[in-house]
Amino acid sequence: MEEEKKANAQEDHIDIMSPYYIHASNSPGQIFVSEPLNDGNYGEWVTDMSNALYAKNKIGFVDGTIPIPVVDSPYLAYVATRKFPILRPMV
């Protein structure tokens, strides 16, 4: 019984340093860079965007250091059903 509790505790552990961690303050509409990208500001924009992504530990999704998971990855199904129960009917 004790081992089962430990296993469940480890399974439910939230690693806030993981790039997959999404904080409650993150949202799809969040603005990372106040000045929109245009023809004349790429250098400044890319620096600001990179800094914002580094600060949120998400740069790996953009620079390729976090590999794209395969479509039939059991991890994706696990995350969808265990960590985000609202997605359970969709998997």
**What does the angle CA 45 – CA 59 – CA 54 come to, to the nearest 5 degrees?**
75
Structural domain contains residue 23: no
Domain containing 59 equals 28-73
* pLDDT value at residue 49: 94
The whole-model pTM stands at 0.62
CA 22 to each of CA 36, 41, 42, 57: distance values in angstroms, whole numbers, following the listed order: 24, 29, 27, 10
Q: Does residue 31 or residue 6 have the better pLDDT? A: 31
Q: What is the pLDDT of residues 60-88, one digit of tens each?
A: 989 999 887 777 777 767 776 666 665 55
Structural domain contains residue 13: no
Q: Measure the CA–CA gap between 28 and 6, rounded to whole angstroms.
A: 34
Structural domain contains residue 17: no
Structural domain contains residue 46: yes
Q: What is the pLDDT of residues 33-52, one digit of tens each?
A: 999 999 999 999 999 999 99
Q: Measure the CA–CA gap between 84 and 78, rounded to whole angstroms.
A: 9
Structural domain contains residue 35: yes
Structural domain contains residue 34: yes
Q: Structural domain tally of the chain?
A: 1
